[in-house]
């Protein structure tokens, strides 16, 4: 029987994870939520929260650690969970500081630090685009003399495609590093590999992938982020070689990077030049841009809820049992919209299963038993969204959702 004293502290810098919180409550765990002041009035599931605590933006890790340890004076937290990627590092520090089980600072680096994850993946035998740390200038010169341009200068700890710059020649790099100053060591540089981008979303239990689903982006996320446009992603045909190869590749990645339990969002590129899959990056979180909804509509698996079940099973020394799945195909189309609340009712295909409700965004999810039908609808709707809804603005410094 669950103990009434079991408590999780969940921390997030953005509004997300409602299903995670509700699943905890349904399993008899009392969730406390720590979030930002600006989300104090967001529609959190307050009916199941033991407490909602907010904090100002811009706090240092030390200040957040002080906040959480102050909260812990009044109640015992059995687990600390970062619902958003930007909170994972401080939560890993808190786990070590408070001696609470979970991924510590070294383990989380393989899912937050692009340099660490690339190095580990390459050492484990995965194909990775040629990369170099931004540290020693002789190393950079040797790299640029050996690896053909263009290159990508990437922040090591940002999410998505934020902060990435394309470097065409050595002089562009030196100018960029002058701008970065003392921040330059927080970047890496890698070869730009043209190709098709895929993402694999997984559930991992006891170091093994027990569920995964493979999807392919329409335009590369970096291109959408920096040039604007309509974002699409769709389930890959389960009978295809791409599905089989990526499923096998992704199953090897979790043991290689050391994750024991949780959810992951991994990205891979199928290079145009040689047709092989290269590892791009992986995060220990549920994918953004409504990818969790996409996975649920195509497979029946709610990644937020399964993550909560994994954590509770571990707390109680129980065996996690993966959920039953279905094998349908889903695709999403999403863009920044000129209107506050764009009206998508004119899109009325029977395959539409979800209409996104988000300020200044238009989005739909479609589902079918036929992957070709999903692809057809995404192509049709992405063109229509571009003409009817699309707005553009410079990429943000940090994610907005």
CA dist 76 and 62 (Å) reads 20
Residue 5, C-beta contacts closer than 8 angstroms, at least 6 positions apart: 76
Largest Cα–Cα distance of the chain, in whole Å? Answer: 65
Mean per-residue pLDDT for 190-203?
Answer: 97
Tell me how far the alpha carbon of residue 120 is from its chain's centroid: 19
Which among 270, 252, 299 has a CA at the least distance from the CA of 198?
270
Mean per-residue pLDDT for 100-112?
Answer: 96
Residue 119 belongs to some domain of the structure: no
- Using an 8 Å Cβ cutoff, are 34 and 71 in contact? yes
Name the residue range of residue 164's domain.
Answer: 130-191
Mean per-residue pLDDT for 342-353?
Answer: 96
Mean per-residue pLDDT for 99-115?
Answer: 96
Residue scoring higher pLDDT (52 or 289): 52
Residue 135 belongs to some domain of the structure: yes
Q: Please check the confidence at residue 282 and state whether its pLDDT lies above 90.
A: yes
For 142-153, the pLDDT digits (tens) are: 999 999 999 999
For 11, other C-beta atoms within 10 Å of its C-beta total: 25
Tell me, yes or no, whether 214 and 339 share the same domain: yes
CA dist 217 and 234 (Å) reads 7
Helices (H), 181-327: 221-227, 241-257, 291-299, 303-315
Residue 309 belongs to some domain of the structure: yes
Tell me, yes or no, whether 265 and 362 share the same domain: yes
Residue 87, C-beta contacts closer than 8 angstroms, at least 6 positions apart: 11, 12, 13
Residue 199 belongs to some domain of the structure: yes
Q: What does pLDDT average to over the chain?
A: 94
For 299-343, the pLDDT digits (tens) are: 999 999 999 999 999 999 999 999 999 999 999 999 999 999 999
The pLDDT value recorded for residue 225 is 67
The CA radius of gyration of the chain, in Å to the nearest whole number, is: 21
Tell me, yes or no, whether 216 and 364 share the same domain: yes
Out of 102, 120, 154, a domain closes at: 102
CA dist 106 and 92 (Å) reads 9
The pLDDT value recorded for residue 160 is 57
Tell me, yes or no, whether 180 and 270 share the same domain: no
Q: Please check the confidence at residue 392 and state whether its pLDDT lies above 80.
A: no
Residue 365 belongs to some domain of the structure: yes
Tell me, yes or no, whether 344 and 360 share the same domain: yes
The CATH number of whichever domain residue 302 belongs to comes to 3.30.470.20
Q: How many domains would you assign to the chain?
A: 3
Tell me, yes or no, whether 280 and 256 share the same domain: yes
Q: Can you give the length of the chain in residues? A: 401
Tell me, yes or no, whether 242 and 351 share the same domain: yes
CA dist 145 and 151 (Å) reads 12
The CATH number of whichever domain residue 141 belongs to comes to 3.30.1490.20
At 256, phi and psi to the nearest 5?
-65, -35
Out of 191, 220, 239, a domain closes at: 191
What's the order of all strands across the beta sheet hosting 151-155? 131-133, 187-191, 151-155, 165-167
CA dist 390 and 387 (Å) reads 7
- Using an 8 Å Cβ cutoff, are 301 and 203 in contact? yes
Tell me, yes or no, whether 150 and 172 share the same domain: yes
Tell me, yes or no, whether 43 and 159 share the same domain: no
Residue 123 belongs to some domain of the structure: no
The CATH number of whichever domain residue 11 belongs to comes to 3.40.50.20
For 67, other C-beta atoms within 10 Å of its C-beta total: 16
3-class SS at 306? helix
Which among 316, 331, 318 has a CA at the least distance from the CA of 231?
331
Tell me, yes or no, whether 38 and 186 share the same domain: no
Structure tokens at 257: 């990077």
Residue 120 belongs to some domain of the structure: no
Structure tokens at 382: 């992405």
Residue 32 belongs to some domain of the structure: yes
Phi-psi region of 335 (alpha: psi -120 to 50; beta: other; left: phi over 0): beta
Tell me, yes or no, whether 373 and 305 share the same domain: yes
For 222-233, the pLDDT digits (tens) are: 777 667 789 999
Q: Tokens 């979800």 — which residue?
A: 354
Q: Please check the confidence at residue 235 and state whether its pLDDT lies above 90.
A: yes
For 236-247, the pLDDT digits (tens) are: 999 999 999 999
Phi-psi region of 306 (alpha: psi -120 to 50; beta: other; left: phi over 0): alpha
Tell me, yes or no, whether 355 and 246 share the same domain: yes
Q: Please check the confidence at residue 396 and state whether its pLDDT lies above 80.
A: no
Q: How confident is the model at residue 163 (pLDDT cuts 50, 70, 90)?
A: confident
The pLDDT value recorded for residue 401 is 44
C-alpha torsion 131→259→94→11, nearest 10? 90
The pLDDT value recorded for residue 159 is 63
Mean per-residue pLDDT for 352-361?
Answer: 92
- Using an 8 Å Cβ cutoff, are 169 and 175 in contact? no
3-class SS at 326? coil
For 51-97, the pLDDT digits (tens) are: 999 999 999 999 999 999 999 999 999 999 999 999 999 999 999 99
Which among 398, 367, 399, 364 has a CA at the least distance from the CA of 384?
364
Residue 197, C-beta contacts closer than 8 angstroms, at least 6 positions apart: 216, 217, 220, 221, 267, 268, 269, 280
Q: Please check the confidence at residue 100 and state whether its pLDDT lies above 80.
A: yes
Which among 344, 330, 324 has a CA at the least distance from the CA of 291?
330
Structure tokens at 82: 């970062």
| Whether pTM exceeds 0.85 | yes
């Amino acid at each position: 029987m669950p103990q009434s004293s079991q408590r999780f502290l969940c921390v997030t810098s953005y509004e997300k994870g409602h299903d995670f919180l509700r699943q905890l409550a349904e399993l008899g765990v009392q969730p406390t939520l720590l979030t930002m002041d600006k989300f104090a009035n967001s529609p959190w599931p307050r009916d199941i929260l033991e407490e909602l605590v907010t904090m100002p933006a811009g706090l240092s890790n030390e200040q957040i650690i002080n906040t959480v340890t102050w909260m812990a004076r009044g109640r015992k937290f059995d687990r600390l969970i970062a619902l958003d990627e930007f909170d994972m590092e401080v939560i890993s520090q808190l786990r070590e500081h408070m001696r609470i089980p979970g991924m510590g600072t070294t383990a989380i680096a393989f899912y937050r630090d692009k340099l660490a994850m690339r190095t580990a993946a390459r050492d484990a035998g995965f194909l990775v685009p040629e990369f170099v740390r931004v540290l020693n200038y002789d190393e950079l010169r040797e790299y640029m003399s050996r690896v053909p341009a263009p290159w990508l200068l990437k922040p090591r700890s940002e999410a998505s495609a934020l902060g990435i710059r394309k470097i065409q020649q050595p002089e562009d790099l030196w100018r960029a590093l002058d701008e970065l100053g003392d921040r330059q060591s927080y970047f890496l540089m890698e070869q730009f590999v043209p190709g098709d981008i895929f993402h694999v979303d997984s559930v991992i239990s006891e170091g093994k992938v027990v569920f995964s689903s493979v999807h392919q982006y329409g335009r590369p996320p970096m291109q959408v982020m920096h040039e604007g446009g309509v974002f699409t992603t769709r389930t890959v045909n389960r009978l295809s070689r791409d599905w089989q190869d990526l499923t096998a590749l992704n199953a090897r990645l979790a043991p290689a990077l050391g994750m024991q339990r949780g959810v992951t969002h991994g990205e891979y590129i199928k290079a145009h030049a040689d047709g092989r899959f290269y590892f791009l990056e992986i995060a220990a979180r549920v994918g953004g841009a409504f990818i969790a909804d996409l996975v649920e509509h195509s497979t029946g698996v709610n990644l937020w809820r399964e993550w909560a079940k994994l954590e509770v099973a571990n707390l109680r020394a129980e065996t996690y049992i993966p959920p039953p799945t279905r094998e349908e195909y889903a695709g999403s189309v999403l863009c920044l919209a000129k209107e506050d609340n764009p009206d998508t009712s004119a899109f009325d295909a029977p395959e539409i299963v979800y209409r996104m409700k988000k300020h200044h965004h238009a989005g739909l999810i479609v589902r079918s038993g036929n992957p070709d039908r999903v692809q057809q609808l995404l192509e049709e709707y992405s063109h229509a969204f571009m003409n009817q809804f699309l707005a553009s603005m410079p990429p943000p410094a940090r994610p907005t959702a």
